[in-house]
Each structure stands twice: as C-alpha cells, then as structure tokens.
C-alpha cells in the first residue's frame, strides 16, 4: 500500500507505515510550519517528522484516519470551500483524499475533514476504511478500486450527478488540469466551477498560463506566483503565505468565508501583491 505526497516541496513516499523522503524540501523555513509544528529549520528530517506526526495524531494513510472538521488553516482552500457549501454558494467539492483518490462530496464537514491536514497528493492506494467512511458521509469516490487521482474526471462525474456549482482543488504539478477543467465548463453553460490552485511551491514558468485561469491561487512558497500571479489579484488573503483571488467568483467565495469566520482582520487598499519580506517562507539555496 503506497502513497506519495508533496510536503514543503519534498516528495514523500509512505509505504505500509514507513516514511521515505525522496527529495530535499524546497523550503528551508516556513512561518506556518514554525507556528504549527515548532520547526524553524526545514530539512528532510523535519519533513519526516511532520508526516510522522500526521500519521500518529490524525491517522494519515491508515484505517483510523481522522476526519475531524475543525478549522485548521486560516484562508485554507478546504476552509473556504466548506464554509461556502454551508452558506449555499457551492453544491459540492471535488477534492483528493489519501486512501480514496478523487472524491466528489456534498457534505461540507467531509470536505473540511479531508483537507484540514492534507498536503498535495501525487498518488495513493485504496484503504477500505477510508473509502467506506467517505461513502457513508456524503461523498462519492471516482474510482474506489484504484484510488485514482484525476480532477477533470472528478468534475465530469460531479456534473453527471447533477451538481451545478462545483469547487475543485488542483495541485501545482497538475496545473494543466485547470485548463482541462475550464474546457469542460465551456460545454456546460449552466455549470459554475470554482478552481482552487493549491500546493504551488514547485510551479514552473510554463504552469502560469494555467494558474491564471483559476479563481483562487495559494502562493505556497513560490516566488514565481508572488511576482507573476500576485499583480493579477483583485484580493489577497494573508501575508505570510498569500492567497490570491483572481476572479469575481473567487471574491464572492472569499468574502462569504470572511463573513463567517471570527478571525480579526485589517482591510485596506494596496497595490498587489502585498508582501512583507521578513514574513515569507524561505526557499532552499538550490531553489
């Protein structure tokens, strides 16, 4: 049973409970990691420690997987999506869960439970208990036998199920899927799709043409996104790891989330992006 993730730009394999960090992390410091895990310097050992904690505390990649829907990440994609589902702006979400692959969910708590502590999934293997939990809690799995990760196919499935207002998450290394999903949307005039671009630390120049078609883009630790996507934003959430809102649909979703959170905010006009240099993640020297 094998699962592969991206964590701080490092590729991580989990196989039968064993963690193997396959590549060096792209990030050497992240304010979020310091705040949540107390880790100031990120190396391969730190990445392994983060993944081990998620496995031990939350049952990641195990039959005992925790789906607690507590809000974890301010301005996180699953937090925004689940809030907007509860408020009636979205009908369902197409996300990815380890042990299941692409999931179409109409239960806002399930969306948050899946995404709360998850990093970018590259591939995964079926875990029966996770599959069963999702099926009995407001979710359908694209391909439970293979745990297939395919977001465009997931969107097609959601449309075939009758959903009209769909949110979908796409990680940076699959940026081309954003264009595929927009092409799907063009064939269904009554369908509205909100695309959330996530896990973007490793995005390349050629990915930008696809990211520009998203509604919400998480900058992760990418300088490229801050420099090239940031100026196109009509709204920015957060400072340390900015989330860039590119469309009116994205702005409606973001404002709905903000109206339903108890986070204290300062709002002011500024030229995009708004960057505070000493509060950004720091990339490793070879990135």
**Sequential pLDDT tens for the chain (287 residues):** 899 999 999 999 999 999 999 999 999 999 989 988 899 999 999 999 999 999 999 999 999 999 988 767 889 999 999 999 999 999 999 999 999 999 999 999 999 999 988 889 999 999 999 999 999 999 999 999 999 999 999 999 999 999 999 999 999 999 999 999 999 999 998 999 999 999 999 999 999 999 999 999 999 999 999 999 999 999 999 999 999 999 999 999 999 999 999 889 999 999 999 999 888 999 887 66
Is the Cβ–Cβ distance between 81 and 90 less than 8 Å?
A: yes
Let me know if residue 270 belongs to a domain.
Answer: yes
List the end-to-end C-alpha distance of the chain, in Å, as a whole number. Answer: 31
Let me know if residue 246 belongs to a domain.
Answer: yes
Alpha carbons 256 and 102: distance in angstroms, whole number: 26
Count how many Cα atoms sit within 13 Å of the Cα of residue 51 in the half-sphere of its side chain.
30
Let me know if residue 167 belongs to a domain.
Answer: yes
Let me know if residue 217 belongs to a domain.
Answer: yes
Angle at the Cα of 178 (from 248 to 51), degrees rounded to 5? 105
Let me know if residue 146 belongs to a domain.
Answer: yes
pLDDT the model gives residue 212? 98
228: phi > 0 → left, psi -120 to 50 → alpha, else beta; which?
A: alpha
Instruction: Give the C-alpha distances (Å, rounded to integers) separating 154 from 103, 123, 159, 170.
Output: 7, 15, 9, 11
Let me know if residue 58 belongs to a domain.
Answer: no
Please state the domain count of the chain.
1
User: Containing domain of residue 245, as a range?
Assistant: 71-283
Q: Give the max Cα distance, the chain.
A: 50
Let me know if residue 80 belongs to a domain.
Answer: yes
- Give the pair of three-digit tokens for residue 222: 């990418």
H helix intervals, the chain:
31-37, 44-58, 77-86, 108-115, 128-135, 151-160, 176-186, 208-211, 223-224, 248-259
Let me know if residue 8 belongs to a domain.
Answer: no
pLDDT the model gives residue 284? 87
Alpha carbons 2 and 233: distance in angstroms, whole number: 38
């Amino acid at each position: 049973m094998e699962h592969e993730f991206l964590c701080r730009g490092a590729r991580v394999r989990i196989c039968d409970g064993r963690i193997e960090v396959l590549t060096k992390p792209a990030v050497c410091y992240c304010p979020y990691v310091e705040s949540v895990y107390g880790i100031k310097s990120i190396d391969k050992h730190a990445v392994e420690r983060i993944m081990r904690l998620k496995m031990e505390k939350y049952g990641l990649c195990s039959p005992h997987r925790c789906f607690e829907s507590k809000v974890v990440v301010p301005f996180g994609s699953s937090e925004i999506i689940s809030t907007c589902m509860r408020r009636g702006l979205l009908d369902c979400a197409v996300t990815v869960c380890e042990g299941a692959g692409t999931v179409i969910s109409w239960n806002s708590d399930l969306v948050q439970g899946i995404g709360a502590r998850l990093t970018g999934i590259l591939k995964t293997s079926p875990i029966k208990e996770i599959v069963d939990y999702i099926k009995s809690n407001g979710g359908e799995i694209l391909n439970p036998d293979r745990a297939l990760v395919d977001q465009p196919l997931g969107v097609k499935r959601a449309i075939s199920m009758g959903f009209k207002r769909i949110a979908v998450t796409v990680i940076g290394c699959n940026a081309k899927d954003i264009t595929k999903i927009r092409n799907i949307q063009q064939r269904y005039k009554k369908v509205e799709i909100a695309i959330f671009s996530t896990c973007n630390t490793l995005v390349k120049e050629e990915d930008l043409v696809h990211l520009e078609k998203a509604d919400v883009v998480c900058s992760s630790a990418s300088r490229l996104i801050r420099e090239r996507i940031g100026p196109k934003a009509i709204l920015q959430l957060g400072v340390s790891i900015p989330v860039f809102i590119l469309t009116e649909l994205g702005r409606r979703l973001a404002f709905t989330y903000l109206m339903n959170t108890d986070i204290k905010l300062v709002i002011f006009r500024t030229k995009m992006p708004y960057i505070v240099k000493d509060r950004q993640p720091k990339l490793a020297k070879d990135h």
